[in-house]
Chain A
Amino acid sequence: MTKKALPVATVLVAVLILWYAAAVWLNAPQAEALMDPDQPHGLWAVAQACWSMDRPVLPAPDQIASALIYSVFGFPLSSPRNLLLQAGYTAETTVIGLFFGLILGILLAIGIVHIRTLDRSVMPWVIASQTVPVLAIAPMLVVALGAMGVTGLVPKAAIVAYLTFFPVTVGMVKGFRTPDPLQLDLMHTYSAGEMTIFAKLRWPSAMAFLFPSLKVAVALAVTGAIVAEMPTGAQVGLGARLLAGSYYGQTMMMWSALVMASLLALAGLLAVTLLERGVILLRGGRL
C-alpha cells in the first residue's frame, strides 16, 4: 500500500499541474476577450482569469470542486437542484438493477452448469450478447416501457440489470466449474447429491470469481444507470443533469455531474471491496 502511495500521489499532482496548464491554454482566447483591452495585464492575470471563468472550455479542478460542494450544500436536500439528491436517484437505479442482474446472472449460471442443453444452446448467446452495444437499447426501452405506462425507476433498473447479468453469469459459470475432478470424485464417494455438491463445493469455490465479476458489474451498472437517464423521458438523475448541462451549455453542471458519477462508481467499488474483505476475513484470510 505505502509502496504505491508515493507514485500514485506524484502522478496525481502531475495530472493536476497539467490540468491547470491546459485550462490556461484552452480558456485563454475567451478569457482575454473578456478582459479590458485598455488595461495592461500580465500572464498571471490571464491565468487567474482562465481559472475563474463562468463558462470555461476546461474548468480548473478547484472550480469543479467548489461547484460540486455548492451543488451539494447550496440547496436543501429536497431541492431538485441538489446534486446529492440526483446522485441518490442514480444510486437507487444502480443498486436495484444490480440486485436483479446479480440474481438473474447467478440463476442463469446455475442453470448453465447443471443443464447441458442450456449450456450448449444459451451460453454462446450469452457470450455474443457481450459484443452487442446493449447500452444503445436504453432510450428505446425507456420509450417502449413508457408507452406501456411504466415510467420512472423500472425501465432504468431493467437496463442496469440487463447490463450487469452478463459479467456475473460468465464469472459464476467459471466459478461453479473450478472444483477439479478430484474434489468432485471425493463428493461422489460421500454419495452427495447435486444440491449438496453445489452448497459444499461449487458455491464456496465460486466466491473467488463472484467479487471480480461484481466489480465489473458495478462499473457497468453506474454507466448503465446514467445512460438510462439520458433519454428525453427521464428528468431525474445524474444522466439527466449531464443532458441538461449539455443543452444549456452549462459547463460546470456537466463537470460536477460527471465527478459525482465517478464518486458514485468509486463508492460502489469500495462497497464491493469491503464486502470481499469481510468474506475473506470470515474464511480465514483467503477466498
Chain B
Amino acid sequence: MNGSATGESRAGAQWMMAAAGLLFCTLSRISLRNFGNLPWITAGVALVLVLAGLSLFARGNDRADGMASPVLFGLLMLWLWEMLVVGLHVPFVILPPPSAIALAIGHHLPMLWADFVQTVLHAVLAGYAMGCGSGFLLALAIDRSPFLQRGLTPLGNLISALPIIGIAPIMVMWFGFGWQSKAAVVVLMTVFPMLVNTRAGLASTDAMERDLMQTYAAGYWQTLRHLRLPVAMPMIFNALKLNATLALIGAVVAEFFGTPTRGMGFRISTEAARMNLDIVWATIVVAAVTGCAAFVLIAAIERVVTFWHPSIRGARRS
C-alpha cells in the first residue's frame, strides 16, 4: 500500500502493539483478585493496545496479516469474556469463565472422549455417509427421468426447509436409544440437501459444452463422467459442508430424546439440568472443534478435487 519503509515500520508496530496488548491482558487477569482499580486500568490499556494492533493488522495485505487479525480477535474475545465474568462476579451457573471451561476439559477428558465416540464416530459418521450417499445416488437415479426430476426436486427443496429435527423422538421410538436412531435422524436431515444440490450441479453444464459432447458422439455415461459430474462437484461439496453441520446438530438434538448414558447431546442436557455449566461448555467446545475440523477437512478435499474452479483458482493466486 505505502512505501516499503512505512510498510516495515507498520509491521513492527503491529506486532509490538499486539504483544504488549496481550501482556497487559495477562497482567490484568493476574491482578484481578485483589488489587483495587489496577485490573481495570491495565484492562483498559490492554483493550486499546489490542484494538490498535488489530486495525494495523487489518490494513496489511500478506498472509500473516490475514491470519493474525482473526486470531487476535479471538484471543481478545476470550480474554474479555474471562475478565468480565470474573471481574463482574457473574454467577457460575450463568456463564463460566473460559479458564474454568479449559479446566473442565482437562478433568473430564475420558468422559468427553466417550461422548465423542458415541455421538460423532457412531451416529454422525454412519448417518452422514448414508444420507449423503443415498442423496447422491437418488439424484443419479432420477437423472434420466425428467418427470421424476420435476416431481422430486421441488419437494426436496421444500423438505430441506422443514424442521426435520422434529422427527427425532419418532426415530428414537423406532430404532431405540442407541446410536442407530440418531443416525436415522442424520440420514433424514442430510439426504434432501444432497439430492437438491447434486441435481442442480448435474444440470449446470452450459449449452456449448453439451454440444461439444454431442459432436464427439459421446454416450450418456461418457457425458456424465467427463462433463456433468466434474461440473457438479462444487455443488456437491457445498452440500457436503452444509450436511456436516446438519449432521452434528441432528445427532446432538436427537440425544435429548433418550440415549444410553453417554453422548454429547445427553451430556449437554443432563449437565445443564445439574447446573454443571463448565462441563456443558466443555462439550460445546468439543462439538465446535469437531464441526470446524470437519469443515476444514471437507474444504481441503474440495480444493484438491475442484482445483480448477474459479473460486479456488482465485484464492490460490492471491
Chain A interface (Cβ < 8 Å from any Cβ of B): 3-4, 7-12, 57, 116-117, 119-125, 128, 130-137, 139-140, 142-145, 147-148, 215, 218-219, 222-223, 226-227, 230-232, 238-239, 242-243, 245-246, 249, 251, 254-255, 257-258, 261-262, 264-266, 269
Contact = CB atoms under 8 A, between A and B. Distances in A.
Interface in B281-296: 281, 283-284, 287-288, 291-292, 294-295
A131 B95 contact: no
A231 B253 CA distance: 10
B98 interface: no
Interface residues of B, number: 67
A121 B75 CA distance: 11
Contacts of A128: 292, 295
B268 A125 contact: no
Given A7-B151, A132-B245, 9 more contacts: A120-B65, A122-B70, A131-B244, A139-B256, A147-B93, A148-B94, A223-B165, A226-B166, A227-B165
A230 B257 CA distance: 9
Contacts of B259: none
Contacts of A143: 93, 272-273, 275, 277
B161 interface: yes
13 contacts: A8-B150, A117-B54, A124-B70, A136-B249, A136-B287, A143-B272, A144-B93, A144-B95, A147-B93, A222-B163, A223-B163, A226-B166, A243-B257
A116 B253 contact: no
Contacts of B284: 132, 136-137, 140
Contacts of A124: 69-70
Nearest to A260: B166
Nearest to A123: B70
A97 B245 CA distance: 21
Contacts of B162: 219, 261-262, 265-266
A8 B252 CA distance: 33
Given A120-B70, A136-B249, A258-B170, A4 B154 contact: yes
B54 A133 contact: no
Contacts, number: 184
A94 B165 CA distance: 16
Nearest to B164: A223
B151 A131 contact: no
A133 B150 contact: no
- State the majority secondary structure of interface residues on B: helix
A3 B283 CA distance: 49
B147 interface: yes
Contact of B257 (A137, A218, A223, A246): A246
Contacts of B264: 136
B245 A131 contact: yes
A119 B61 CA distance: 13
Q: Which of B148, B169, B253, B287 has the most CB of A within 10 A?
A: B169
B59 A116 contact: yes
Task: Identify the 4 closest CB pairs spanning chains A and B, nearest first.
Answer: A7-B151, A246-B169, A121-B73, A11-B151
Contact of B163 (A8, A123, A125, A262): A262
B269 A125 contact: no
Interface string B94-105: 110000000000
B39 interface: no
B155 A11 contact: yes
Contacts of A231: 256, 269, 272
B44 to A, nearest CB: 19
Contacts of A249: 173
Nearest to A9: B151
Interface in B190-227: none
A139 B272 contact: yes
A89 to B, nearest CB: 15
Contacts of B292: 128, 131-132
